[in-house]
Amino acid sequence: MAILRFSFGTMGSGKSTLALQIHHNLRERGLQGILCSQLDRADGRVSSALGVSADAVEVGPRLDLFEMALAVASRRGRIDYLVCDEAQFYLPSQIDQLARIVDDLGADVFAFGLLTSFQGELFDGTRRLLEVADERVEVQVEARCWCGERATHNARLVDGVQVYDGALFVVDDPEDHVVTYELRCRRHWTAGDSGVRRQAGALLDSDAEPAHEVA
């Protein structure tokens, strides 16, 4: 019986690596499938932090995933699976299309994505996946905050300062600000604390002259 499985985790937890591995393994078994990435996210490829990548279909807001899968099934004779990376950015209606692929075409769907945005709220696509998925699995590779605690939140920094507002998806900043992301535990995400002051203090301590004993 086909399933819709949603695997979620923070940045750096190995979601894309796992997506590529599943796609490779199923394809090696002779199954017919599609690897999908988010439009404007990776130039039509799924790439992992380990340097592995593969060509993929770019999923934009106008793409009907069910119709795409149906066309592939008609052309190839069948479709066995879809692997969907960055699924948090899919529209809720596209998540419903993934569920229909499972139910009507009998193909497995393996979706991968983040739970929450830099604002600390569920993505629309993630929320719908949690509602309709047959299986919900947290990726077991635990990323860490700078303090060493388990990272649960993704922080967006603009010019080194954490922000909580703004567009969910940023490709290029028109004002040439430097936009970066960091993993944080909930406490340091809430505090907007990147550990810079603590790190600076540690450097100062290491540079200080050792104290001399008084005879």
| CATH code of the domain covering residue 33 | 3.40.50.300
Q: Which residue range(s) make up the domain with 155?
A: 144-205
108 belongs to a structural domain: yes
77 and 21 belong to one structural domain: yes
CA-to-CA distance for 44 and 114, rounded, in angstroms?
19
Does a structural domain hold residue 211? no
Q: What is the pLDDT of residue 13?
A: 77
Q: Look at residue 42 in the predicted model and tell me its pLDDT.
A: 54
- Per-residue pLDDT at 17: 86
Domain total in the chain: 2
Ramachandran class of 21: left when φ > 0, alpha when ψ lies in -120 to 50, beta otherwise: alpha
Domain boundary among 124, 142, 160: 142
Cα–Cα distance measured from residue 146 to residue 127, given in angstroms and rounded to the nearest whole number = 28
Active site residues: 86
pLDDT reported for residue 25: 94
CA 108 centroid distance within chain = 20
Note the pLDDT of residue 123. 95
End residue of a domain, out of 98, 115, 142: 142
Q: Looking at residue 173, what is its pLDDT?
A: 57
pTM of the model as a whole: 0.81
pLDDT of residue 176: 77
Within 10 angstroms of residue 183's Cβ, the number of other Cβ atoms is: 20
Q: What is the model's pLDDT at position 199?
A: 52
Give, rounded to a whole angstrom, the gap between the first and last alpha carbons of the chain: 81
Task: Report d(CA 106, CA 177) in Å as an integer.
Answer: 46
Question: What string of pLDDT tens digits covers the 215 residues of the chain?
Answer: 999 999 998 887 778 888 999 999 999 999 999 999 886 555 665 655 556 667 789 999 999 999 999 999 999 999 999 999 999 999 999 999 999 999 999 999 999 999 999 999 999 999 999 999 999 999 877 788 999 999 989 999 999 999 999 887 765 555 678 898 999 999 999 999 988 655 544 444 445 454 444 33
Quote the pLDDT of residue 207.
Answer: 52
| 127 lies in the same domain as 195 | no
Is 100 in the same domain as 36? yes
pLDDT of residue 55: 79
Do 89 and 17 lie in a common domain?
A: yes
159 and 94 both lie in a single domain: no
Interatomic CA distance for residues 13 and 134, integer angstroms = 22
Last residue of a domain, one of 142, 164, 186: 142
